[in-house]
Structures are given as C-alpha cells and as structure tokens.
Amino acid sequence: MEELPSSIDQLNALEELDLRGCFNLEELPSSIDQLNVIQELDLQGCFNLEKVPSSIGELNALQEFDLRKCFNLEELPSSIG
C-alpha cells in the first residue's frame, strides 16, 4: 500500500491504527486530523514514509505514535511539539 485513502476521515470512531510494516507507504493524508478519538498510531517499519502532515498535531487523543524504522522521514512537523 502506497497511500491511505483520504476517506479515512470517515472512520471517526477509530481508536487504533496499526500500519506496521507498510513498507511502501509514502505519506499520510492530511485528512488524518479528523480521527478525533484515535489513541494509537503505529507506523513502525514504514521504511518509505517521507512525510507526516502537520495536521497530525491536532490529534488531541493521540497517546502513542510509533515512528521507529521510518528511515526516509526527514523531519517531524512542529505541530506535534
């Protein structure tokens, strides 16, 4: 999988998203900020992930955000503190 559909924002009750090992995933859609209750986002091993949208900082319920082994990710948005 190279990208998540922008319609992911319709999963407004989603609490956990495990994308571990999605080697071809290059970026997350900006609509991910609509996942208001998501508590865990696991991107470990997404080797080709290059970009995390700045809107990720708007996920107020997010408690765990795993980016281990995301080798192509050059910087994190300032919105996540």
Confidence at 74, pLDDT banded by 50, 70, 90: confident
pLDDT of residue 1: 83
Query: CATH code for 6-75?
Result: 3.80.10.10
What CA–CA distance (Å, rounded) separates 53 from 76? 9
Mean pLDDT of 64-70: 96
Mean pLDDT of 34-61: 94
Q: What is the mean pLDDT of the chain?
A: 93
Strands of 1-81, DSSP E: 16-18, 40-42, 64-66
pTM of the model: 0.90
Mean pLDDT of 30-47: 95
C-alpha distances (whole Å) from 33 to each of 5, 23, 69 are: 13, 22, 23
Any idea what DSSP says for residue 40?
E
What CA–CA distance (Å, rounded) separates 11 from 44? 21
